[in-house]
Amino acid sequence: MSGFSHLWHFEFLGNELGQWAIALVVFLVTFTVLPIAKRAIGARRRREYPASQAYAALDMLAALVEHTSHLFMWGAAVWLAARDLTFPDKIDRALNVVLVLLFWMQVALWAMTAIRHALGLGRQRAPGQERVRGGSMEVAALLALENLDIHVGPLLAGLGIGGIALALAVQTVLSDLLASLSIALDKPFGVGDFLVIDDFMGTIEQIGVKSTRMRSVNGEQIILGNSDLLKSRLRNFGRMTQRRALFQLDVHYETPVAALAAVPGAVREIIEATPDARFDRCHLLRCAPTALQFEVVYFVTSSDFKVYATAQQSINLRILERFSTLGVIFAALGPTPVRLQRLPATPATDDSGQKRLL
Q: Is the pLDDT of residue 33 over 60?
A: yes
Residue 98 has pLDDT above 60, yes or no: yes
Q: How large is the C-alpha radius of gyration of the chain? A: 40
Which of the four pLDDT bands, split at 50, 70 and 90, describes residue 346? low
Angle at which helices 70-81 and 89-118 cross, to 10°:
140
pTM for the model stands at 0.46
More confident call, 279 vs 190: 279
Distance (Å, rounded) from C-alpha 299 to C-alpha 242? Answer: 7
- Reported residue count of the chain is 358
pLDDT surpassing 90 at residue 293: yes
Q: What is the pLDDT of residues 203-248, one digit of tens each?
A: 999 888 788 899 998 889 999 888 888 888 888 888 888 899 999 9
Q: Give the pLDDT confidence score for residue 164 in this predicted structure.
A: 62
Q: Report the pLDDT value the prediction gives residue 132, as an integer from 0 to 100.
A: 46
- Interacting residues of 353 by C-beta distance below 8 A, sequence separation 6+: none
**What's the per-residue H, E or C state across 323-343?**
HHHHCCCECCCCCCCCCCCCC
Query: Which of 31-45, 65-79, 117-131, 287-301 has the lowest average pLDDT?
Result: 117-131
Give the pLDDT confidence score for residue 131 in this predicted structure. 46
Q: Residue 329 and residue 253: Cα distance in Å, rounded?
A: 8
pLDDT at 127: 45
Given this model, what pLDDT does residue 64 score? 76
pLDDT at 137: 53
Question: Of the segments 75-79, 88-92, 166-170, 172-176, which one has the largest average pLDDT value?
Answer: 75-79
Mean pLDDT of the region 248-274 = 93
What are the φ and ψ backbone dihedral angles of 148, each rounded to 5 degrees? -90, 20
pLDDT at 281 over 60: yes
SS3 91: helix
pLDDT at 352 exceeding the cut of 80 = no
CB 33 within 8 Å of CB 25: no
Give the DSSP letter of residue 289. Answer: S
180 or 323, which is more confident: 323
* Three-state secondary-structure class, residue 152: coil
